[in-house]
Amino acid sequence: MWADLLDGVIFTDIAVIGAGQAGLSAGYHLRRAGLEPGSGFVMLDRSPAPGGAWQYRWPSLTLSTVNRVHDLPGLEFAQVLTDDAPDGVIAAEAVPRYYRTYEEKFDLRVRRPVTVTVVCDREPRFRIEAGETVLSARGVINATGTWEKPFIPSYPGAETFGGQQLHTKNYTRAGDFAGKHVVVVGGGISAVQLLDEISQVTSTTWVTRREPVFRDGDFGQDAGRAAVAMVEDRVRAGLPPGSVVSVTGLLLTDSLRAARDRGTLTRLPMFSSIEPDGVRWTDGSFVRADVILWATGFRSALDHLAPLRLRGHGGGIVMDGRLATRVAADHRVHLLGYGPSASTIGANRGGRAAVTELMETLGLGE
């Protein structure tokens, strides 16, 4: 039951928008701090079931091919896995099962499917509209991630392309491209994983803006800290978060070594234009293409926060606080999954910091 309900509006202290890794971490720490679901905090999630973006990942993505899924606080991932060979488990099945167990264990009472369309400042509270659900909250922890906002750069002639264009978000399986030439665009982890898969069933061309850098082993603590520090410096300065891969490089796994031996990892610089039957470079060279797969990443899904006018002149949002989760212009708002809290381990640490700082700002738990 909702403790405070007036004229159809749910009154709560803190609204958590999004129930992926970051949102669940925040929910856990809110519970640990003594807040109850309802009057203390309300969690909203747009997906029909637990699992965040993981439930939409392509079927070939297994626990052996993903970057490590870090444990949420209070429950180890391994405790939920029941398969004798966990590395072969489909990530889109295992991670949602873990999240569902987590929500139940800590009684987070996530309301779904609820899509937040707008957050307005009604000082001293926020009005959060999500269809028939309307919240009034003193503080907001936004953990909407990036999955709902795929990024495809603009190139001349894109609208004339006669083949298929799709983003990583829409990828399902390599077999769909058999007999077609596929141009894979992007230099991140997803790009090389999909390039490897597709190249085993058809011909491919790999295109990136920058020369990719591969590493033979897991990067150490120094490299990890450098990657996080780079992103943190950017958001503290109000710049859009940068790519962590540009610092860490791409891990050269056994499957990618095999792809390299097949000649799949021969990279070309970005083309300059798209034509009806392929892509062309400034020097006139041309590659015929049936498919262009844009593995070009995502942008933070923050459109619903636009009325708060959080973005600055640098194109990003100036962040502060212990782990750069707090919006400098309004300490009642924290962003998780933005900047240094975008990784699974960063989301855990960010969730704790956001809850601690937001409760201090609101004078809760005193």
- Is the peptide bond prior to 124 cis by the omega test (within 30 degrees of 0)? yes
Query: Where does CATH 3.50.50.60 sit in the chain?
Result: 5-148+298-362, 158-213+249-294
Q: Where are the alpha helices (DSSP H) in the chain?
A: 21-32, 91-105, 189-199, 221-236, 245-248, 254-261, 344-362
pTM summary value: 0.91
Greatest Cα-to-Cα distance within the chain, rounded to the nearest angstrom: 68
User: Within 10 A of 222 (CB to CB), how many other CB atoms are there?
Assistant: 8
Which run of H or E residues covers position 126?
strand 125-130
Give CA–CA dist 203/191, Å, rounded. Answer: 15
Each residue's pLDDT, cut to its tens digit, for the chain (366 residues) gives 344 556 689 999 999 999 999 999 999 999 999 999 999 999 999 999 999 998 999 888 887 665 557 789 999 988 887 655 555 688 889 999 999 999 999 999 999 999 999 999 999 999 999 999 999 999 999 999 899 999 999 999 999 999 999 999 999 999 999 999 999 999 998 999 999 999 999 999 999 999 998 887 665 666 667 777 888 999 999 999 876 666 677 888 888 999 999 999 999 999 999 999 999 999 999 999 999 999 999 999 999 999 999 998 888 999 999 999 999 999 999 999 998 888 777 888 899 999 999 999 999 976
| Half-sphere exposure of residue 108: CA atoms within 13 angstroms, side-chain side | 30
Which CATH number does 5-148+298-362 carry? Answer: 3.50.50.60
Give CA–CA dist 262/217, Å, rounded. Answer: 21
CATH fold for domain 158-213+249-294? FAD/NAD(P)-binding domain (3.50.50)
